[in-house]
Amino acid sequence: GAVQLTSTTGSNKCPICGKSNGIHSAGEKAQRIAGGVVINPPHKYPWLVYIQSVIEGFSYSCGGQIINSRWVLTAAHCFYDGRDSGCNYIEEAEVHVGLHQSDFRDKKFLTGVTRIIQVKDFVEHQGFQCGISHDDDIGLLGLEEELDLFSIKQSEGIKAICLPKDDEGWFEGDQAVAAGWGATASKRSESTQKTMKVPQDVPSEVNIPIKRELCSTYKASWITDNMLCAGNHRKSKDACSGDSGGPLAVKNKNDTYVL
C-alpha cells in the first residue's frame, strides 16, 4: 500500500527542508568516505542519520536521511544481511538522529543533540528483489516517535532533506555530495573471532560528479539503465562500506539540497 509522507502534526506550515548548517569547509582529511573530508561544522547536513540494525543476531550499520517527521529514507538492501544468501530479513533497528561524534564501540555519544529512535515500520520498494537485482533499492523506516522539525532547540541538528519536485532532479555533470560514517576500520569480535567493520567516530563528506559514463566502466552485470553513477576514481573519491542508504544530494539554484 501507499505510505503517507505528509506531516501528522496538524499544522498547515511545512518545516524548511534541505538547508545546510554552515558553509563548506575543507575540514580534516578523512579515511571514511574514500577521498573525503570530515564534515565541518558538525550537523552541516542535519538530515543525515546513522542506522543500526540487528539481523540474525548480527549488528549492521547504514546511513539514511530524514525526509519528514516520521520517515527516514535509506536503501532496501539495508533490511537484509550480507552473509550466506544475504537475504535474512531485519529483526529490529534504531535510528540515531542529530548525531555527529560518537564512540560506536562503547555507545558513548560525545557531541550533538542525539536521539535514538526505534523503528516500527520497514517498507521496501515493491520492485526490489534481494539477491537478484539492485534495481529499486529504496527503503523507508517509520519511526516510533515523531521528530519536531520546527523546534529551535533541535533545528541545528535535525532537519529534513528536500525531495525533488517534478521539474527538479540531477543532471549529467552536476556536483553531488555523499556523506556518512562509512567504515574502513576493522575490529575482531572476541565472541565470534570474526573481523567486523566498525563505523568511524565522525561522519565524512565528498563532492563527486554525476557521470552516466561511469556506469559503463564498472562492467558489472548488476548495473542497469535505471541507475545513475557518481564518483571520481582517478582521485579515489567515492562512498565506502557503511555508507549505504546515505544521501547523494545536489544543491539547487535556491541553495537547497535535494536528493
pLDDT digits (tens, 9 = 90+) for 160-181: 999 988 776 667 778 899 998 8
Please indicate, yes or no, whether the overall pTM of this predicted structure exceeds 0.95: no
Residue 11 lies in a domain: no
Residue 13 lies in a domain: no
Residue 6 lies in a domain: no
Residue 88 lies in a domain: yes
The distance from CA 171 to its chain's CA centroid, rounded to whole angstroms, is 21
Residue 125 lies in a domain: yes
Tens of pLDDT, residue by residue over 53-102, are 888 888 888 999 999 999 999 999 999 986 656 688 888 999 999 888 76
- Does residue 187 have a pLDDT over 70? no
Q: What are phi and psi of 108, to 5 degrees?
A: -105, 125
Residue 5 lies in a domain: no
Placement of cell 552541516 in the chain: 44
Tens of pLDDT, residue by residue over 11-30, are 456 788 999 886 544 444 34
Residue 37 — left, alpha, or beta (φ > 0 → left; ψ -120 to 50 → alpha)? beta
pLDDT of residue 141: 97
Tens of pLDDT, residue by residue over 96-147, are 998 887 665 555 555 556 789 999 999 999 999 988 888 999 999 999 999 9
- Which domain does 159 fall in, by range? 37-258
CATH of residue 184? 2.40.10.120
Relative to beta strand 248-251, strand 257-258 is antiparallel
Please tell me which residue, 6 or 118, carries the higher pLDDT value.
118
Residue 210 CB neighbours (<10 A): 18
- Does residue 195 have a pLDDT over 50? no
* 204 vs 34: CA distance, rounded Å: 9
pLDDT band, very low/low/confident/very high, at 156 (cuts 50, 70, 90): low
Q: In percent, how much of the chain has pLDDT > 90?
A: 25
By C-alpha distance, which of 157, 166, 155 is closest to 16? Answer: 155
Catalytic residues: 77, 137, 244
Residue 17 lies in a domain: no
Residue 24 lies in a domain: no
State the total domains in the chain. 1
pLDDT of residue 221: 67
